[in-house]
Amino acid sequence: GIQVEQSPPDLILQEGANSTLRCNFSDSVNNLQWFHQNPWGQLINLFYIPSGTKQNGRLSATTVATERYSLLYISSSQTTDSGVYFCAVVFYGNNRLAFGKGNQVVVIP
């Protein structure tokens, strides 16, 4: 069935380290977004990236739609990067934003 899989599920980083989060999806998509849910529960838009590469400060994302995956890069991590990162996609013909289970990231000082 339709699936959005994120890896790794949990990640502990030392402040200053770099990391890569991965999102695999089971079918063609026409929308892909990355969100950060902070410890207070807020869902913050990071990237709208159905294809290609984007950068925003220390974060960047790449989606290779033909190979059905997206990557989120965190460089020089800070404690404020802690939280859960969600990948969400809209599959063609499905018409709803489906979320993965998230990557729980903890950045320790």
Partner 1 sequence: DSGVTQTPKHLITATGQRVTLRCSPRSGDLSVYWYQQSLDQGLQFLIQYYNGEERAKGNILERFSAQQFPDLHSELNLSSLELGDSALYFCASSREAGEYTGELFFGEGSRLTVL
Quick check: 6 and 37 in contact, CB under 8 A? no
**Minimum distance of partner 1 from residue 14's CB (angstroms):** 28
Site for partner 1 in 43-82 (CB under 8 A): 43-45, 48, 50
Choice between 51 and 76, CB closer to partner 1: 51
Quick check: 14 and 76 in contact, CB under 8 A? no
Q: Does 33 bind partner 1 (CB under 8 A)?
A: yes
What does each C-alpha distance from 40 to 1, 43, 57 come to in angstroms?
32, 9, 22
Torsion on CA atoms 86, 61, 19, 5, rounded to nearest 10: 40
Q: Does 101 bind partner 1 (CB under 8 A)?
A: yes
Q: Does 1 bind partner 1 (CB under 8 A)?
A: no
Which of 11, 13, 23, 35 touches partner 1 by CB under 8 A? 35
Cis-peptide, bond into residue 50, ω within 30° of zero? no
Q: How many residues does the structure list for the chain?
A: 109
Choice between 89 and 107, CB closer to partner 1: 89
How many residues in the shown chain lie near partner 1 by CB under 8 A? 21
Q: Does 99 bind partner 1 (CB under 8 A)?
A: yes
